[in-house]
Amino acid sequence: MAFASMEPPAGDAAPPPLSSSSSSSSVIFLGTGCSGALPDTRCLITPSALPCAVCSMGVSLPPEQNPNYRCNTSLLIDYCQDDGTHEYIIIDVGKTFREQVLRWFVHHKIPWVNSIILTHDHADAVLGLDDVWMVQPKGCSNDFRRVPIFLTQFTMDSVAARFPYLLKNKLEEGDEVSQVAQLDWRIIEGDIDKPFVSSGLEFVPLPVMHGEGYVCLGFLFGRKAKIAYLSDVSRFLPETEYAISKSGAGQLDLLILETNTLYGKTLDAVKRISPKRALLIGMRHEFEHDRENQNLAEWSSRSTVSIPLLLFLSTATSSAAVSSTSGRAMSLPGCPDKCGNVSIPYPFGVGDRCAAVGLSRFFNLTCDDSRSPPVPMLGDPDAQAVVIDFSPERGELRLYAGLSYACYASSATSPSTNATFVFSLVDTPFRVSPSRNRLTVVGCSALGLVVGTANGGGDDDDLYATGCFTYCAELNGTGADGAPCAGTGCCQVPISPDIPYLGAAFRTSNWTNTAWRFNPCFYAMVAEDGWYSFRRRDLVGVLAYYNETVDAGGIPVVLDWAVRDGWCPETAEEKARRKYACVSDNSHCVNSSNGMGYTCNCSQGYEGNPYLDGGCQDINECVLREQDPKYEEMYPCRHGICINTAGSYRCKCKAGTKRDGTNFGCQQVLPMSAKVVVGLSACAILAMALSCLLVIQLQRRKHIQEKQQYFKQNGGLRLFDEMVSRQVDTVRVLTEDELKKATNNFSDDQVIGCGGHGTVYRGTLDDLREVAIKRSKAAVDGDGNVDGGCEDEFVNEIIVLSQINHRHVVRLLGCCLEVHVPMLVYEFVPNGTLFELLHGGGTARRPVSLGLRLKIAAQSADALAYLHSSASRAILHGDVKSLNILLDDGLDAKVADFGASALKSTMGEGEFIEYVQGTLGYLDPESFVSRHLTDKSDVYSFGVVLVELATRRKAVYDDDGSGQKRSLSTAFLAALRRGELWSVLDRDLVGHPDDNDKVAVAVDVVRELAELAARCLGPRGDERPAMKEVAERLEVLRRAEMQVVVAAAGAGRDSNDGEVDRWIMCGGGSVGRGHLDTTASYQSTSTETDKMPLPLSVDDLAR
């Protein structure tokens, strides 16, 4: 069986025919509104000063033509069983059930209801139970059969209190059998693991929160096509979201979801669940069908989630599909219909004769022929704007506008130059569209505002203002190009409707631009939503971005336009008196949602210009079917002849065919022998296909079950729950297929490292971000299964590690748990390891300065100190070595490979042997004996790294004299005790002792470095310094070395052919010619350490 989702009815308006023949299954939406249904009677009985446009439209058209007329949410499943018989299942029978029966059961020829499922006990789900007798099936003796009703015990108790007479097992004397529903009550469990069968179809309960403290049920059903129906949901439970996600039951074919919070939780949920198709229901009167469907179409085109259709369930066909107006007159006869490449629809026109100046003089445009191509200009001659295009169906136009700016030449509290762009739309038909535009502010340390009034005056009671603040300490501290405007470099906020006078401005009074050196100018603009994309270069230069936008023509802005002489007229006299603008037949008036006024639309089945006499013309659906295959699905006429009618079409069957049970399709009339042959052939093919599909399905189910099992074993459900409860968004749970794609199916060519805790692959995710993917062994036991007692610990560590935010620690970005061995995803660091820098192959060794070595050591120590004491919880690295210190493009250090080590501090014998193989030469002797890692274990290993930096020898190196392997730490400590430190140090660090005076100070730094390494290599952990102390000492040594460099540079200025080198030193930062390095911001709190007494000499070092 295959479920085919029917295109949504128009509001609950005239739906199209069923999308499948009578031999297939389908779903029919009996209602798509909220619990109160639409139109809302409160909006009509006691209207507000600004009438509700949606509810007003709800009574302006018949329901069958009205996309904003919606009954209570309810779904009818027409389930065709294997023998061809149909079972009709309803989910929820609410307050509008009788109206739904009269309208849709008659239209679709639904004879009865076989079973009912209830989601909860509220009125919009159960109040129609009293009318179920109308659709009860009859038995062979013409008596009514009982209708099974599936509901939870909680709902059963509530129904029993409200409808006690419906629970009678036997009718009493005087009860009319035709007026009392005969029901068979069946209790179900609201548990995902306890499905039930209704009328031959299996349903899986999906518990969700319907407000806090109240659980409502959705349902997952379908054999080949998986459909999830969630009509009342305010928050997903983790197990429910997992069950309908790709990681759970696999990708949904169709998600039907309530959307009372469209641009918040609903679209976020659609992104996370990622179905093949999503349909939205449960709309309140804030949602106007056509407008929101257009917004959703634009969102779907921008979204990275692959969703073919995201649509409000309201109309039978999308209005955009029939809006082709080629060949239709859009301007007055004898008037130009274009200016350059821009079509000009009436009431707009070039000149008084061609524009509806009687409605507003601003509909009169000027065509600027001085440009190539010519462009239409809107507004008074002294303040005109270039029109980009018109959208008469939406009552919109796009034009180019300006932007506001404020520039600072110093840290003064007022700008050196500024300008403000204002929209003055008072007494015009135009308003800035609140749904299509945003206030966008670009800059660092900028408070941008949009300020306006309803009448253009200065009355404070009429003042409107909103805004946002941006901040960035440095240019590189902003987001990358294309990053969302969330406050770093730029920010965006929506604007309110019906503000005819507004402009973008800044808070400049007593305001200091703290970033004026690299961001001298702020910019603020009201711009089309989605137009602006952040670029770092927009922050740089004086008015550089302003000049760029001026050269490009300006900022695109969307204006709503309407006839502004009141709301839609209701009587013929009022229409005549007010010069009603909707003059075409087959047109109707729509109240504006942006200020008082109205626009005109063609009726359903017509297109054109409703402002022209005879402008709305019939859509020839039959011609469209021939022109483009996509219209064949929109206007079905299977195996028939399409005949156009006014506002619609009909499907005529050819000779030898008959109707297929719908009004929009035909089927062949075959003799019995042909049917038998065809039937037997089809059965044979079907049996073979089903066998193949069964094998495929079993294999697929086995694979899915294995993934689910691994996911549960590795703590996936626990991780989902923790992520939701803690509101964690720093870790991403990826699927195995995503990682296979990123690593070319884990190709050996992608391997970038192997260690004691796993194999590391280089990969590229779908968002083009390069990552390092590690097959971690730390969270699994010998069989690849997470120890039951360690599941919570593993999940906790994953969350904690993902929230580590240190510039010198490689970040954990995500994990994959649906495989035998969990995989961890880290950021990719491109410039190799410290090991490769010190010991890399090649005939000529790369020179490594003392300053670079101290920088790498100080940064690495700072990262380890952060892990030990500054993170949200103490984290042990456990595998500190030069191979695990990565270098980025600027040769800054990033400590890596700490995640798996942090998960276990105490190891078994097998794990410990594997660990020793990966850390030979770095292992703390105390840890070797106790098999227990501590923070002082990291200190010892780091001491070996310091010795590597000082000697440029490997932790286990070949003795040139004997050819045997020697421990670097042992040899170093022995040389230090014998006073022969010079024999093991790298001579490149200090040159020759007789070079000059500056060498002595450099040697003192190296000597201090060696003594610090010796303290770290102490035999007992309590004798070693804390990592924080090591970091502070290394920073002091680094400063001392930089002072030597600065002194040497100062001494050499006079010998530079008269050229003066400018050296800059700031705080604890790096020193360089003409460059201020702001990356080093470490500051020691010990003045005693800053003095750094180094009493040693070259002779001391040589002893």
CA 549 from centroid of its chain's CA atoms = 29
Q: Are 159 and 166 in contact (CB under 8 A)?
A: yes
Compute the distance between CA of residue 174 and CA of residue 393 in angstroms, rounded to an integer. Answer: 59
Compute the distance between CA of residue 292 and CA of residue 295 in angstroms, rounded to an integer. Answer: 5
Q: For residue 831, count CB atoms less than 10 angstroms from its CB and return exposed for 0-12, middle for 13-18, buried for 19 or more.
A: middle
Binding site annotation covers 338? no
Neighbours of 1074 (CB within 10 A): 8
Compute the distance between CA of residue 594 and CA of residue 401 in angstroms, rounded to an integer. Answer: 20
Instruction: Scan for tokens 């008596």, then name that residue.
Output: 143
Compute the distance between CA of residue 945 and CA of residue 893 in angstroms, rounded to an integer. Answer: 13
Q: Are 636 and 629 in contact (CB under 8 A)?
A: no
Could you tell me the CA-to-CA distances from 87 to 26, 199, 441, 762 in Å, in that order? 11, 6, 58, 54
Consecutive H or E run containing 598: strand 598-602
Could you tell me the CA-to-CA distances from 617 to 14, 603, 955 in Å, in that order? 21, 10, 85
Helices (H) and strands (E) in the chain, counts: 28, 53
879 is a catalytic site residue = yes
Instruction: Scan for tokens 């003066």, then name that residue.
Output: 1060
Neighbours of 277 (CB within 10 A): 16
Per-position DSSP letters for 605-658, written without gaps between them: TEEE-TTSTT-EEE--HHHHHHH-THHHHHS--BTEEEEEETTEEEEEEPTTEE
Compute the distance between CA of residue 987 and CA of residue 953 in angstroms, rounded to an integer. Answer: 12
Q: Are 984 and 1010 in contact (CB under 8 A)?
A: no
Q: Which residues contact 74 (CB under 8 A, 6 or more apart)?
A: 29, 30, 31, 90, 91, 92, 93, 94, 96, 97, 100
Instruction: Scan for tokens 């996911």, then name that residue.
Output: 711
| Both structure tokens of 79 | 């389930």
Instruction: Scan for tokens 């030069």, then name that residue.
Output: 882
Q: Identify which of 267, 275, 266, 279 has the alpha carbon closest to the alpha carbon of residue 306.
A: 275
Q: Which residues contact 216 (CB under 8 A, 6 or more apart)?
A: 119, 120, 207, 208, 209, 210, 231, 232, 233
Per-position DSSP letters for 753-802, written without gaps between them: EEETTEEEEEEE-TTS-EEEEEEE-TT--TTS---GGGHHHHHHHHHHHH
Catalytic residue among 92, 879, 938, 986: 879
Strands 147-151 and 183-187: parallel
Residue type, 1100: D
Could you tell me the CA-to-CA distances from 877 to 858, 936, 954, 1013 in Å, in that order? 16, 11, 20, 18
Q: For residue 687, count CB atoms less than 10 angstroms from its CB and return exposed for 0-12, middle for 13-18, buried for 19 or more.
A: exposed
Q: Is the dihedral of CA 478, 481, 483, 484 positive or negative?
A: positive
Q: Identify which of 588, 556, 461, 473 has the alpha carbon closest to the alpha carbon of residue 519.
A: 473
Q: For residue 1076, count CB atoms less than 10 angstroms from its CB and return exposed for 0-12, middle for 13-18, buried for 19 or more.
A: exposed
What order of strands is seen across the sheet that includes strand 463-470? 421-424, 501-506, 446-453, 463-470
Q: Which residues contact 1004 (CB under 8 A, 6 or more apart)?
A: 1040, 1094, 1095, 1096, 1097
Could you tell me the CA-to-CA distances from 9 to 58, 100, 128, 347, 418 in Å, in that order? 14, 12, 21, 32, 53
Binding residues: 774
Q: Which residues are catalytic?
A: 879
Binding residues for ATP: 774
